[in-house]
A and B are shown apart, each in its own frame.
Chain A
């Protein structure tokens, strides 16, 4: 057998890239072998999309655009929020799979190997962001199938929208990884990550913030989902973005930094 280290000692960065991509392959293999978790999580946003459009659609559309909007306008209003909600859903999967992984012996094995220490988490994060993006594309396709059209978005705006979704997914994935790490079981992880699915319900995803009770409006307006949804709407539909874009970026960078530090601190702690 060969020696464990290649003759030329790899640099720290190349070690990080190599080990992280190995871990990423492992996580993608899991997702491919056991797609049911991912698919189940996709069901929620799709059902909500269909429910709000076809069941509540007439009532809901009366509440936007000063009343008198038709159903297709409500689809346009709803889809950006549903896309971000899709990311919220895949985060449950992230938290669950991280918590399962941390309680498995295989993670203890990784900790005793001379590999890049962060690669276990980085593999989870990148795998989860990729899954989020695929989920967003699938849910977006359902949206397009029922009549969502982005009429006046330029290529640049499409790229910005894509970047926004990816950044949002990255930030919240780090938070979900932290949640998974501190959860003693898969059930606990699923419960801990539940707020990430509820948050979009109290955002501007389904109804405009100014249709909510006055005391509640600041909460709905400044929580991370609303500015992200408004920015996405602006990019895809040409509505007013205002200062939502930088609020979103600040939220995402802040949450990513927080989630990263949190996850790393928990991972560096001695396992039980």
Chain B
């Protein structure tokens, strides 16, 4: 499948809600390497947007530009109504950023980190203590509050990081790979945290290399590949971009495999693993007719698996699908 698929987003249906983040033709290169090659985004306020892409696709660079950490080479970007190039302080006052690498001060305690943020947001002493205690409680860090942040586990550091980001009550939050490197439990905790943020009306811009995560959390997803948006839309819209699901039959007996393969003409053969892929929408009727057909020719498969299209398929189709099976192994954690 070609790697440049038209964006699936529908535009211009009635009045649009105000955009929390919008970019036009955003470009950035480091030396000879083009990292972002013309990115157009429009993220309505109060939604979760996921920028999905493999390592090195430019996700972090996009976050860095939108959070005023680095300057773009070209194009425009507006965050919370402020231009990132001409009014960075306006942007900074509205956003909170949790980068890929923990942005906590490891030499001081969790509580001191929180109070540092409160001071930098110019909260009064009383207010600062209150906000800090509330957030530490909310992120289950009260017990560890008096310990140096460097002694925290990965999940705790990430929670402290987000708690620090929330001190200023930002309206737009950037989360760069918020769950990378976390164990499954911490990952689910993080998802819960992100869902709560959204229910408070915050706009969340998150990057991830995990499709499952984008599917779980995001209202809209953009697939970033090689510095370009390969596709954009809701999870369902993206899934519709690629052909439907299939049934996979695996055999151990080569004879059974051969006879099944010759009987099922529409099947795709995989001679190495003795497996057949038969296109199917996964309905009960189609499945039964397939099984009846197998029975009628007297063939018994050793394993039958259903596969419905998921974002993985979209992802690999859009980001160069040839080595799908290799990458699939990586993506399953």
Contacts and interface: CB of A to CB of B under 8 A. Distances in A.
Contacts of B148: 33
Contacts of A104: 103, 105-106
User: A-B pairs with the 3 shortest C-beta distances?
Assistant: A105-B103, A109-B103, A114-B92
A105 B99 contact: yes
Interface string B82-98: 00000001001101010
A115 B120 contact: yes
Contacts of B102: 105
Given A1-B131, A5-B122, A18-B122, A113 B168 contact: yes
Contacts of A19: 120
Given A18-B122, A111-B68, 20 more contacts: A1-B131, A2-B123, A4-B93, A4-B122, A4-B169, A5-B93, A10-B122, A22-B120, A25-B119, A30-B107, A30-B108, A33-B107, A33-B108, A33-B148, A106-B104, A109-B99, A114-B93, A270-B71, A271-B69, A271-B70
Interface of A: 1-6, 10, 18-19, 22, 25-26, 29-30, 33-34, 104-106, 108-115, 270-271
Nearest to B171: A4
Contacts of A1: 131, 134, 166-167, 169
B69 A111 contact: yes
Nearest to B119: A22
A3 B124 CA distance: 12
B279 interface: no
Interface centre among A34, A113, A270, A271 (most CB of B within 10 A): A113
Interface centre among B67, B107, B123, B168 (most CB of A within 10 A): B107
B122 A113 contact: no
B169 A108 contact: no
Given A4-B121, A105-B99, A106-B103, A26 B108 contact: yes
Interface string B49-76: 0000000000000000001111100000
Given A106-B103, A271-B70, A112 B127 contact: no
Contacts of B245: none
A108 B103 contact: yes
Interface centre among B102, B106, B119 (most CB of A within 10 A): B119
A25 to B, nearest CB: 8
Nearest to B70: A270
Interface string B166-184: 1111100000000000000
A106 to B, nearest CB: 5
Interface in B108-128: 108, 112, 116, 119-123, 127
A112 B106 contact: no
Contacts of B92: 112-115
A151 to B, nearest CB: 44
